[in-house]
């Protein structure tokens, strides 16, 4: 879901949509708080706009880091299926790779 769609759901005080990644969930909640803050007068529109801009600037980074994390988790699961073979194979490079991945040295 893109940030504009997330904001529309948040602005209308809808429930958190299913299937969002953590950064998208956080953006949704932040947008909801911003819109509620403006409604009750706790924030001016200018303050909300400034904060929205800051959130959107960070959102791309949050999504990138989430994707890196997800990719790393998948890689480690796939590697676990061959890690034992790499360790007992006698190959010094394989053993060193496993040590590095397991953070043993």
User: Is 48 a domain residue?
Assistant: yes
Q: What angle do CA 56, 60, 64 make, to 5 degrees?
A: 155
Q: Output the pTM of the full model.
A: 0.70
For the segment 87-104, the average pLDDT, to the nearest whole number, is 83
User: Is 63 a domain residue?
Assistant: yes
User: Is 104 a domain residue?
Assistant: no
User: Is 34 a domain residue?
Assistant: yes
User: Is 88 a domain residue?
Assistant: no
Distance CA 26, CA 62 (A): 10
pLDDT at 94: 87
Q: Rounded to the nearest 10 degrees, how much is the dihedral formed by the CA atoms of 12, 56, 26, 7?
A: 10
User: Is 51 a domain residue?
Assistant: yes
pLDDT at 104: 58
What total of structural domains would you count in the chain?
1
Give the tens place of pLDDT for each residue, 13-33.
Answer: 999 999 999 999 999 999 999
Place of tokens 């676990």: 80
| Residue 8 structural domain | 3-74
Give the tens place of pLDDT for each residue, 60-95.
Answer: 999 999 999 999 999 888 888 888 888 888 899 988
pLDDT at 99: 83
User: Is 58 a domain residue?
Assistant: yes
Distance CA 44, CA 8 (A): 19
């Amino acid at each position: 879901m893109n940030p504009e769609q997330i904001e529309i759901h948040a602005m209308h005080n809808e429930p958190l949509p299913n299937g969002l990644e953590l950064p998208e969930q956080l953006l949704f909640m932040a947008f909801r708080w911003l819109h509620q803050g403006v409604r009750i007068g706790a924030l001016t529109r200018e303050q909300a706009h400034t904060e929205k801009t800051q959130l959107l600037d960070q959102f791309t980074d949050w999504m990138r880091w989430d994707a890196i994390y997800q990719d790393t988790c998948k890689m480690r699961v796939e590697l676990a299926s061959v890690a034992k073979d790499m360790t007992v194979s006698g190959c010094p490079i394989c053993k060193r790779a496993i040590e590095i991945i397991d953070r043993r040295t």
